[in-house]
Amino acid sequence: MFKALADPTRRILLDELTERDGQTLFELCGRLATKHGSSSSRQAISQHLDVLEAAGLVVTRRDGRYKFHHIDTDPLRPIVARWLGDEPGG
């Protein structure tokens, strides 16, 4: 799961899904190319999304020929509390 966060492109994908949840692959491709100047191909982004889904950070929902990607931040919460000692307030 930590490895899923290690890649900058994947973090940008999470940023995009945070800003606008439920985007399709092609939408994310366009967003990354336009807003972030990323030159990643469709396959590259698709594979990144696979990694994020395998890590549980992204859940997908199919509707016809579209596949919508939704962010799931639940796995993110305990990963840092491991070393912060479960102090929620900081």
For binding to a copy of itself (CB under 8 A), which residues are involved? Answer: 2-3, 5-6, 11, 14-15, 18, 71, 73, 76-77, 79-80, 82-85, 88-90
Tokens coding 48 = 């990144």
Tell me if 30 contacts DNA by CB under 7 A.
no
Among 11, 14, 33, 46, binds DNA (CB under 7 A): 46
Q: How far is the CB of 73 from DNA (least distance, A)?
A: 20
- Report the DSSP beta bridge partners of residue 71: 58
Where residue 67 falls (left for φ over 0; alpha for ψ -120 to 50; beta otherwise) is beta
CB 49 within 8 Å of CB 68: no
Q: How far is the CB of 72 from DNA (least distance, A)?
A: 17
Phi, psi of 89 (to 5 degrees): -75, -15
Which positions lie near DNA, rule CB under 7 A? Answer: 3, 6-7, 9, 24-26, 39-44, 46-49, 51, 60, 63-67
